[in-house]
C-alpha cells in the first residue's frame, strides 16, 4: 500500500514539473523590472562604445525632438513645475500650471503667497503642504539671495528648499541648456538597466555610470529620450518590445515576445 502511494506521489510531482517546463518554454513571461542593487551584480554592464553609439543612434531616430514634457516659459516656472512633479504625472502638473502661473506670475508672488491659497492651487498634485513649503522657501531664497533669478550652478540650486540633484539637473538642462548631469528618474532607472548600461538601482550611481559612457552633448537629450521611450514603448509592466526599434540591441530579462496562439 505504502509503495503504491509513493509511486503515485512521484508521478504527480513529475507531471507538475513537466507542465511548468512546457509553460516556460512556450512563452516568455514578463516580470516587473528589477534593477540590481548597487554592488550586487558580478557581470559588468555592456557599455562597449560601439553598442552605446548604436543605442544613441536608435534613440535619435525614434525621438529626434525629445524634450521636457513639463510646460514652462522660463526656468523659474520649470523649477516650480519640477517640484510639483514629485509623485505626480507631468500631465496633471501641466493642468495645474495653466491656472497657477497666471495667478503667481513672479518669484515674489510665490515667496510671499498666502500658504493656504497656494496649497489649494496645487492640491491636485498631491503632497501639497510639503510642496507649498518647498515652493515658498525656494522662491523666498531666489528673491532674497539670488536677486530674483534662478541660479545657474548645481551647488547654488541645491541650497534651495525642495531641490535635490534631479531637480537641479532638470532646471540646468531644460531651463538653461547646461549639461551638468544626467536626469535620472524612474524611467531612466528602468531603461538604463534593461539596456544593460548600468547595474545600479540608485540614481546617484546610475548617473555616474551614464555620465562615464555618454558624450556630454548627449546628457540632456538622452534622459528625455529614455523618458519618452519609457512612457510610450518600454513601459514598466509589459514593455512593447515588438514596437521597439532598440529590440536588436536589448537583451533585458523582461523583454516580451510575440506569442503564437
Ligand atoms: S526591447 Fe523591450 S525591454 Fe528592450 S528597450 Fe525595447 S521595449 Fe524595452
Catalytic annotation, pick one of 60, 71, 185, 202: 185
Identify the residue whose C-alpha is closest to ligand 1 atom 3. 255
> With a 6 A CB cut-off, is 246 part of the ligand 1 pocket?
yes
Q: Is 236 in the pocket of ligand 1 (CB under 6 A)?
A: no
pLDDT tier at 257 (50, 70, 90 boundaries)?
A: confident
Q: Hunting for cell 539596456 — which residue is that? A: 195
Selection from 149, 162, 178 nearest residue 122 by Cα: 162
Distance, in Å, from the CA atom of 246 to the CA atom of 130, rounded to the nearest integer, reads 40
252 Cβ below 6 A of ligand 1: yes
pTM given for the model: 0.82
Give tens-digit pLDDT for 122-151.
999 999 999 999 999 999 999 999 999 999
Q: Rounded mean pLDDT of the chain?
A: 88
Taking the C-alpha atoms of residue 18 and residue 150, their distance in angstroms, rounded to an integer, is: 63
Gap from CA of 206 to ligand 1 centroid (Å): 18
- For residue 258, name the pLDDT band (cuts at 50, 70, 90): low
Spatial separation of the C-alpha atoms in residues 183 and 166, rounded to whole Å: 6
Q: pLDDT: is 22 or 58 the higher one?
A: 58
pLDDT digits (tens, 9 = 90+) for 154-175: 999 999 999 999 999 999 999 9
Q: Give the per-residue pLDDT at 10.
A: 44
Q: Please report how many Cα atoms fall inside a 13 Å half-sphere around the Cα of residue 21, on the Cβ side.
A: 6
Asked whether residue 21 carries a pLDDT value surpassing 70, the answer given is no
**Distance separating alpha carbons of residues 225 and 248, to the nearest angstrom:** 18
**Residues comprising the chain, all counted:** 261
Best residue among 242, 251, 252, 256 to mutate for probing ligand 1, ranked by most atoms within 8 Å of CB: 252
166 as an active site residue: the answer is yes
Amino acid at each position: 500500500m505504502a509503495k503504491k502511494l509513493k509511486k503515485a506521489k512521484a508521478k504527480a510531482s513529475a507531471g507538475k514539473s513537466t507542465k511548468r517546463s512546457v509553460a516556460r518554454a512556450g512563452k516568455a513571461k514578463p516580470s516587473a523590472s528589477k534593477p540590481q542593487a548597487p554592488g550586487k551584480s558580478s557581470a559588468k554592464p555592456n557599455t562597449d562604445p560601439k553598442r552605446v553609439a548604436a543605442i544613441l543612434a536608435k534613440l535619435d531616430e525614434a525621438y529626434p525632438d525629445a524634450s521636457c514634457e513639463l510646460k514652462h516659459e522660463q526656468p523659474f516656472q520649470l523649477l516650480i513645475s519640477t517640484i510639483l512633479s514629485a509623485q505626480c504625472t507631468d500631465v496633471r502638473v501641466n493642468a495645474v500650471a495653466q491656472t497657477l502661473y497666471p495667478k503667481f506670475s513672479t518669484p515674489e508672488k510665490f515667496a510671499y503667497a498666502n500658504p493656504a491659497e497656494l496649497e489649494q492651487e496645487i492640491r491636485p498634485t498631491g503632497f501639497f503642504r510639503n510642496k507649498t513649503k518647498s515652493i515658498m522657501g525656494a522662491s523666498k531664497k531666489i528673491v532674497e539671495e539670488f536677486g530674483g533669478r534662478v541660479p545657474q550652478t548645481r551647488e547654488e540650486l541645491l541650497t534651495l528648499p525642495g531641490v535635490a540633484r534631479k531637480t537641479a539637473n532638470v532646471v540646468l538642462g531644460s531651463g538653461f541648456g547646461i549639461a551638468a548631469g544626467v536626469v535620472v528618474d524612474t524611467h531612466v532607472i528602468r531603461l538604463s538597466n534593461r539596456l544593460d548600461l548600468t547595474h545600479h538601482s540608485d540614481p546617484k550611481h546610475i548617473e555616474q555610470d551614464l555620465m562615464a559612457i555618454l558624450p556630454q552633448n548627449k546628457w540632456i537629450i538622452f534622459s528625455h529620450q529614455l523618458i519618452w521611450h519609457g512612457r510610450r514603448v518600454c513601459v514598466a509592466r509589459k514593455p512593447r518590445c515588438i514596437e521597439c526599434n532598440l529590440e536588436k540591441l536589448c537583451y533585458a530579462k523582461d523583454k516580451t515576445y510575440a506569442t503564437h496562439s
